[in-house]
Amino acid sequence: MAFLESQPLYARHNIPIFPVHITADGIKRPAIRHYQRVGLPGSAKLTRQFGDAQAFGFICGERSRITVLDIDTPDERVLADAQSRHGKSPLVVRTARKRFQVYHRHNGESRQIRPYPDRPIDILGGGFVVAPDSRGPQGQYEIIEGSLDDLDRLPRLANLNEQRGNNAAQMTVGSGRNNFLFRQLSREAHACDNFDALLIAHKQSNDDFDSPLPDDEVVRCTKSSWKMTIEGRNRFGQHGVSLSTSDVDRLVVDPHLFALLSWLKAHHGPTNTFWVANGLQEKLGWPRRQLKLARQRAIDRGWLVQLSPARRGSAALYGWGPASNRRSLKEGLRNTTHVYVENSLPDLVPHSVEAQRGDSA
């Protein structure tokens, strides 16, 4: 649906939209300057010049009264988990890249990129978002649950652990804007395909500041973040694995347990809850029986705690047990082993080990 037809539909719900240009590689740019200032009269005037535009968007936050839970994966299990954690919404959108966006009523949330390192989720309480019914080279943004009429009855997000002190809208000169911008966008860099995409994201976040940084400072900050990312040094928004020397000594004799715990620690923080479902066998490259045995040993030895049983359509939920939080006071930090675990970790436990040790490992 073109901008000319969509503008009055969104205006009925007091949401001013503006045209957006989407490139062949998926980079999204507002087609006008000062898009943050567009109100309903200005949005209506834009139909004269951009009536045929196939993509359009709006500003999240106070202006639209909308916060979008942006789920950067096509995995419907992550969508279901997000709605279980933060509340179900009547309005869910599938993006052109087959990802998901869940619409909620704005309640003062800021724009947060990867606030939960173990989940591919952004909280868009600021900046712009491409609106449903838009179309780009990679496909269409379509509503898969609900309709535009649900914009007037959106629920607020639940169970958010937002640090209000990092609210960009409250940051002015001397409040650490540069450092805040660098850390926030370094998290977003992992999802950007190139420098231009990251620069657009930086400019969008910069616009959220009460007093935005100069353009040359934004470019410099973007170059630093992108350089760190392409050199493999960008650890923002990612977990590593920290194991004490005594833990390593105890686990190294059981390579499957060692690999399972290291993989879980690399993807889940110390206070997270998570699944250890049988489907993990495909990622680790193990037989299902070997995963079950390693998982049970993790429970028996106090590394994992099962918080809820498996139910129809829902895997069992786990958390970290007392053994995973234990640290010897004698060793101190100087003897703590730090290991950054990448996706190649399962190669540490090849199938040949399985053949040698058998299921009794």
Residue 163 buriedness (CB in 10 A; 0-12 / 13-18 / 19+)? exposed
Q: DSSP label at 314?
A: B
211 vs 80, higher pLDDT: 80
- Write down the pLDDT at residue 329: 30
Q: Read off the pLDDT of each residue in 266-284 and give the average, rounded to a whole number.
A: 82
Write the DSSP assignment of 190-212 as a string of letters.
TT-SSHHHHHHHHHHHHTTSSSP
- Residue 357: band (very low, low, confident or very high) from pLDDT cuts 50, 70, 90: very low
In the predicted model, what is the mean pLDDT of residues 18-47?
Answer: 92
pTM over 0.85: no
Predicted local distance difference test score (pLDDT) of residue 344 = 34
Residue 115 has pLDDT above 50, yes or no: yes
Q: If DSSP states are collapsed to H, E and C, what string results for 119-141?
A: CCEEEECCCEEECCCCEECCEEC
CA 316 – CA 319 distance, rounded (Å): 10
The domain locations on the chain are: 1-81+90-159, 163-238, 241-357
Q: Would you call 121 exposed, middle or buried from its count of C-beta atoms within 10 A (0-12, 13-18, 19+)?
A: buried
Contact (Cβ atoms closer than 8 angstroms) between residue 293 and residue 253? no
Pick the CATH number of 241-357 from 1.10.357, 1.10.10, 1.20.58, 1.20.120: 1.10.10
Mean of pLDDT values over 240-267: 83
- Locate 187 and state its tokens: 């998290």
- Check whether 51 has a pLDDT greater than 90: yes
What is the DSSP pairing of strand 121-124 with strand 66-71? Answer: antiparallel
- For residue 41, give Cα distances in angstroms to 8, 33, 38, 78: 11, 16, 8, 39
Looking at residue 350, its pLDDT comes to 39
Mean local confidence (pLDDT), 255-282: 85
- Return the pLDDT at 341: 34
Question: Is residue 354 predicted with pLDDT exceeding 50?
Answer: no
Tens digits of residue pLDDT in 53-108: 999 999 999 889 999 999 999 999 899 989 988 999 999 999 999 999 999 999 98
**120-137 average pLDDT score:** 92
Rounded to 10°, the helix 40-50/3-11 angle is 170
Question: What average pLDDT does this structure show over 40-44?
Answer: 96
Which of 29-33, 111-115, 218-222, 278-282 has the largest mean confidence?
29-33
pLDDT(138) > 60 = yes
* pLDDT grade for 169, boundaries at 50, 70 and 90: low
Average pLDDT over residues 269-296: 87
- Give the pLDDT confidence of 312-347 residue by residue, as tens digits: 777 888 988 888 765 433 333 333 333 333 333 333
71 vs 122: CA distance, rounded Å: 7
Question: In 3-state terms, the chain is what percent helix, strand and coil (to 5)?
Answer: 40, 20, 40
- Using the predicted structure, report yes or no on whether residue 243 has a pLDDT greater than 80: no
Q: Distances in Å between the alpha carbon of 241 and those of 87, 143, 258, 353?
A: 31, 39, 11, 23
246-256 pLDDT, tens digit each: 888 888 889 99
Closest CA to 212 of 222, 201, 220, 204: 204
